[in-house]
Amino acid sequence: MLLAHKVELRPTAAQAGYLARACGSRRHCYNQLLDHFQRPGVKWSKAAGYQHFIAVVRPAFPWYNEVSSRVTRNAIDDLDNAFKHFWLRVKANKPANPKAKTFRERFGFPTFKKKGKGESFALRESTKFDVDGRALRLERLPGRVDMRQPLRFTGKTRQVTISQQAGKFYASVLVETDDYNPHAPAGEAVGVDFGVKSLAVLSDGRVFPANQKLKANLKRLKRRQRRLSRKRKGSNRSAKARRSLAKLHRRIADQRRAVLHEVSDHLTRHYRVVCIEDLNVKGMAKNHRLARAVNDAGFGTLRQFIEYKAELRGGTVVVIDRFAPSSKMCCRCGQIHDMPLSARTMACDCGNAMDRDHNAAVNILNFGLDTLTPDLKRAQESGKTTVRRGADVDGAKMPALPDSHRSARLA
Ligand SMILES: [Zn+2]
């Protein structure tokens, strides 16, 4: 299975120079080829592109040799792809921009790459690069580039794409991996409450706190946005503020993503059945107090991460109806309580006193197992213990549910 992991790079000044030059060479070469092949009567094919590259383009620009030879050569593949997609759209009569005036614009004819806009280059030959822990080697690059994290997957690296965004460099590494052993998660079932105060609380009591650095950065973002709005448009100061804002946006996106990966990794690695609530993000965002927390945590993305990782690892995700009273019901006796957001503890007549989110997580687990039970029964009758997506939940413990719990749910 091929999986990509995108990691921020921490190049030295000299290394950053190389990466920027490589991006520039690739863009330049792509544009040189396009300039030739966009002329009327000149027909693109990969072979013709290669010919032109060897005979005309490469000899004319000896500075291409300052970086790996593959950087510019792979621009041929990129342009080939762009042409292929253009012709596919033409054949299917599916214009990319139906309102554009010219035929080429309508069907998205390849366009020149602009400096500073989505700059990247790729090395697709495994001899031209390799990853060792947190060090990335690229052909002709002095030393090894420091990566912010090691790769999430083990296996053979197939391709690396270096991109430059808001002044930072990223490496997206494609790995052929067999990490995802279908029966890897050893634990049983878990319920997860995506909290307002914490990012997530598990039914076994584990808490993923809200990321404080992320919080601080969000505050900083607000401040900087205000500052930018006070600056005169088009001024040097406003341009500077805009750049720093873009950087901060990028940083926040990275932090958020890292947190979501951490939570989804933990859940799918350790539990066979993950029960989560169907958070209708739009519906929740209407509630002002919840809105910030929802947007900050990126629940939609988190759910996507959990679902695809569970599928890869052979786990099962059970999504609970969002109207189930997970935070209002006592998880021990099933009694329903009025629980405003300010009430942090579920204190019930039955003697149960629990953190609000932890109580909700236990309920979510119980609801989830309830949903799974019919499937399990059927599977057991036919002598198998497989449910949905072929996941093996043989080891999943089914806690005995009090009767009142069921009736409370129906009520
Ligand atoms: Zn109770």
pLDDT at 226 over 50: yes
pLDDT at 299 over 50: yes
Question: How much distance in Å is there from the Cα of 401 to the middle of ligand 1?
Answer: 13
Average of pLDDT values for 117-132? 91
Q: Where are the domains of the chain?
A: 2-176, 187-406
Question: Lowest-confidence range among 57-66, 139-148, 369-378, 401-410?
Answer: 401-410
Average of pLDDT values for 132-140? 94
Average of pLDDT values for 368-396? 47
Strands 2-10, 168-176: pairing is antiparallel
Question: How much distance in Å is there from the Cα of 348 to the middle of ligand 1?
Answer: 4
Question: How much distance in Å is there from the Cα of 336 to the middle of ligand 1?
Answer: 8
Confidence (pLDDT) at 143: 93
Confidence (pLDDT) at 120: 94
Question: How much distance in Å is there from the Cα of 391 to the middle of ligand 1?
Answer: 33
Could you tell me the CA-to-CA distances from 394 to 36, 386, 406 in Å, in that order? 63, 8, 24
pLDDT at 199 over 50: yes
In the structure encoding, which two tokens stand for residue 148, read together?
């912010």
Check: CB of residue 387 under 8 Å from CB of residue 310: no
Question: How much distance in Å is there from the Cα of 141 to the middle of ligand 1?
Answer: 64
Tell me the percentage of the chain whose pLDDT exceeds 70. 82
Question: How much distance in Å is there from the Cα of 161 to the middle of ligand 1?
Answer: 55
pLDDT at 411 over 60: no
Q: CB atoms < 10 A from the CB of 390, how many?
A: 10
The span from the first CA to the last CA of the chain, in angstroms, equals: 46
Q: Closest Cα to residue 103, out of 85, 86, 128?
A: 86
Question: How much distance in Å is there from the Cα of 324 to the middle of ligand 1?
Answer: 17
Confidence (pLDDT) at 84: 94
Confidence (pLDDT) at 196: 62
Confidence (pLDDT) at 297: 55
Q: How far is CA 44 from the centre of its chain?
A: 35
pLDDT at 14 over 90: yes
Question: How much distance in Å is there from the Cα of 190 to the middle of ligand 1?
Answer: 21
Question: How much distance in Å is there from the Cα of 224 to the middle of ligand 1?
Answer: 47
Average of pLDDT values for 69-79? 94
pLDDT at 137 over 60: yes
Question: How much distance in Å is there from the Cα of 355 to the middle of ligand 1?
Answer: 13
Question: How much distance in Å is there from the Cα of 399 to the middle of ligand 1?
Answer: 17
Question: How much distance in Å is there from the Cα of 318 to the middle of ligand 1?
Answer: 25
Q: How far is CA 42 from the centre of its chain?
A: 40
- Residue written as token pair 């932090």: 255
Distance, in Å, from the CA atom of 182 to the CA atom of 397, rounded to the nearest integer, reads: 19
Which H helix or E strand runs over 356?
A: helix 356-381
Q: Closest Cα to residue 131, out of 75, 174, 73, 181?
A: 174
pLDDT at 290 over 80: no
Confidence (pLDDT) at 285: 46
Q: Closest Cα to residue 203, out of 50, 359, 400?
A: 359
